Structure 1
């Protein structure tokens, strides 16, 4: 249990940090893309508003002061967006002017090196297909506008550096995420023992208490049981002695179950793993309940894949089958049948026991394997159950690196254990 708790703490802490960092990365990269695209659109709009050129003054097209002959003051980044005095010299673009029927009137290629008269038809076709508005083609951000009747202008802006920056920011941010998540994982692994130490100490004290109490109770229970047998020999059979003896046997079973659960929760598993013929073990154990089932008017059908071998604790697996069979026989609907199947799974084997029963809620299914939980307390009292058997079954399944689940469908409950 301690190992599972620690592993769960590590997973939750690491996944939480990973989710936050990935969300932050997503927000930053989306903001970067939106900001970059906004700058490119502003540049395209500015070129269009200046009839296919980029002015070299701060006011983007305003001539020098006619009285002083001085140019407008230098641009300020907080006022002029992505533009500055170097923008006319660093921006690469080309302009196509054409008619609606596709006739090219003019191609201004003076500010681009990657496009010439031989390849301009490709970009003209893109503009004609797209129509008015903004678009992206290869490494170009472009816009198409109508200038007058049957005339259009298409401006293609080279965005290679911007796209490269976006890609690099994404890659570096993902790399930083991976490095930080790995670092967090290592730190959580190192300090996880200290973080869960209070819980571990509490669990250890609880297990020690159960173990000590179990051993302490065994002696008086044995004395009581022996005394009752001696008393019965002296006074003969009496219903009061029989009832006391039955309760003593129930106490013995409860103490043994609690000690078993405590041992299963230890960090070092008490299970002894070795290969054994699981088909034979399951079949023999299930068949031993045939007479018990027949007394209650129940049929039993056992179907185990032949010659299956499994590496696990044979005694624990037999105990698992016994718990599931005992549970099925006690709570199966009258005049119904119990089906036991064993089959090879993708990883390991799958054992399933199903029987007809009264309707079970989803809440009961999820809590069925909790200790001392009873779906119907009155029925459990009548059958002598403690609500602890399925908890032991879960511990056995998890001890074999597997899991156990319960499913209710069409009036039948199926408890399935996967042993890996």
Structure 2
């Protein structure tokens, strides 16, 4: 149990950290990409205003002061921008025929490549977007379609490099946190582990200490019965003493099963074991007006503690008979699928909610507290069943489809 607690603590911490890092990297990545796109679109807007060129032309008379003022006032870019940017443009007719191509401001793209990019943009039907690492904008002038491409490869490479570096650093950080959690989780759960061990020792020790006085009380009641004859008060003492002894034995058994000791496991025929146990409960089911049937796949064997598995079957049958409704149906199923043996107990009930299902394996939990005196027991049976299944590295589950039936399934890996 402590080992499972450590694993859950590590998994919860790692998943939380992974989620936080993913959100942070996602937000930073989206904001960076958005900033890159906004800057590229601002440059393209400037080029669009001048029909594919920066405002460094005869209209401005090559006045550097006018250029700087224009760029800073309208787009807040450096006056070096026209000399740093690489761009090209393609003008087309509405039918896609090429009117002109301007690749004078870029060396990596020739006329043919520029035309191919333009036709690719036309097929997408988008006004803005990326083709490779070229950001483009499309607009119409009269009957012409003008497409301007801006080389943003350097910025996109930097963005991708930042993204991959961040992911790499995050992975290294996650691994570092994982090693720290593996090292520190033992110390974190140590107080709980110590308290849990003390609780188990207390239950075991107290159980053994209670056995002696309970035995003496029962023996004294028998002696008094021989002296004064049968008496309702003596019968009540004997009944309650037996119940208390059963409760003590159940608590001791549950404590031992949760320790999952390394007992010697042997191969035994579980099909025969289930069949024999079902036969012993047939008479009890009939006297309580319950219909008990079994669907057992023959010749199945498993390796484990035969005595504990027999007790598991007994608990499942006893629970089904106790809580099945009058005239209800009970079915025990044993089958093997792939490398897993499934042992199931199905029974109809008057009513059971899905909220009850969640707590069936809790200690001392009773679905209907008003029936305690009728059914007996202490709400420990399914807790013991769960401990037995866990000791065999299996898994036990409970479910209901219509809230009028209960299915408990134990799965054992072969």
Scaled by the length of structure 1, the TM-score of the pair is 0.89
**Mapping of 1:291-330 within 5 angstroms?**
291-330=283-322
Instruction: Classify 1:326/1:271 alpha carbon distance in 2 versus 1 (closer, same or farther; 3 Å).
Output: farther
Task: Identify unmatched segments of 5+ residues in structure 2.
Answer: none
Q: For residues 331-365 of structure 1, what are the alpha-carbon distances to aligned partners after superposition, in whole Å with 9 as ceiling and x for unaligned?
A: 11112221001122455221110111111112211
Residue correspondences, number: 411
- Give the secondary structure class of the aligned counterpart of 1:25: helix
**Match in the other structure for 2:137:** 143
Check conservation: 2:94, 2:144, Cα contact below 8 A: yes
Q: Which runs of 4+ in 1 moved over 6 A?
A: 73-76
Task: Identify unmatched segments of 5+ residues in structure 1.
Answer: none
- Give the secondary structure class of the aligned counterpart of 2:400: strand
Query: Are positions 1:26 and 2:26 aligned together?
Result: yes
Structure 2: how far apart are the matches of 1:191 and 1:61?
A: 69
Structure 1: how far apart are the matches of 2:396 and 2:66?
A: 84
CA-CA distance at 1:221 after TM superposition = 0.8
**Match in the other structure for 1:276:** 268
Check conservation: 2:297, 2:336, Cα contact below 8 A: yes
**Match in the other structure for 2:331:** 339
Query: Are positions 1:119 and 2:118 aligned together?
Result: no
Q: For residues 286-331 of structure 1, what are the alpha-carbon distances to aligned partners after superposition, in whole Å with 9 as ceiling and x for unaligned?
A: 2221121122122221112222222222222111111111111111
CA-CA distance at 1:61 after TM superposition = 6.6
Q: Aligned match of 2:237 in 237, 241, 244?
A: 244
Scaled by the length of structure 2, the TM-score of the pair is 0.91
**Match in the other structure for 1:37:** 37
Instruction: Classify 1:296/1:72 alpha carbon distance in 2 versus 1 (closer, same or farther; 3 Å).
Output: closer
CA-CA distance at 1:279 after TM superposition = 1.9
CA-CA distance at 1:195 after TM superposition = 1.2
Query: Are positions 1:12 and 2:5 aligned together?
Result: no
**Mapping of 1:19-418 within 5 angstroms?**
19-55=19-55, 63-64=62-63, 72=68, 83-131=77-125, 133-147=127-141, 149-266=142-259, 269=261, 271-410=263-402, 411-418=404-411
Instruction: Classify 1:12/1:166 alpha carbon distance in 2 versus 1 (closer, same or farther; 3 Å).
Output: same
**Match in the other structure for 1:3:** 3
CA-CA distance at 1:269 after TM superposition = 3.2
- Give the secondary structure class of the aligned counterpart of 1:110: strand
Check conservation: 2:352, 2:405, Cα contact below 8 A: no
Check conservation: 1:264, 1:396, Cα contact below 8 A: yes
Q: CA RMSD in A?
A: 2.7
Check conservation: 1:298, 1:338, Cα contact below 8 A: yes
Check conservation: 1:36, 1:162, Cα contact below 8 A: yes
Instruction: Classify 1:131/1:332 alpha carbon distance in 2 versus 1 (closer, same or farther; 3 Å).
Output: closer
Structure 1: how far apart are the matches of 2:12 and 2:356?
A: 26
Q: For residues 3-26 of structure 1, what are the alpha-carbon distances to aligned partners after superposition, in whole Å with 9 as ceiling and x for unaligned?
A: 222222121112111111111111
Structure 2: how far apart are the matches of 1:314 and 1:419?
A: 13
Check conservation: 1:263, 1:270, Cα contact below 8 A: no
- Give the secondary structure class of the aligned counterpart of 2:364: coil
Check conservation: 1:56, 1:85, Cα contact below 8 A: no
Structure 1: how far apart are the matches of 2:216 and 2:126?
A: 97
Check conservation: 1:2, 1:200, Cα contact below 8 A: yes
Q: For residues 227-281 of structure 1, what are the alpha-carbon distances to aligned partners after superposition, in whole Å with 9 as ceiling and x for unaligned?
A: 2233333444433333222211111110011111222233x53554333222222
Instruction: Classify 1:61/1:305 alpha carbon distance in 2 versus 1 (closer, same or farther; 3 Å).
Output: farther
Structure 1: how far apart are the matches of 2:332 and 2:102?
A: 81
Structure 1: how far apart are the matches of 2:80 and 2:273?
A: 84
Check conservation: 1:303, 1:340, Cα contact below 8 A: yes
Structure 2: how far apart are the matches of 1:269 and 1:24?
A: 45
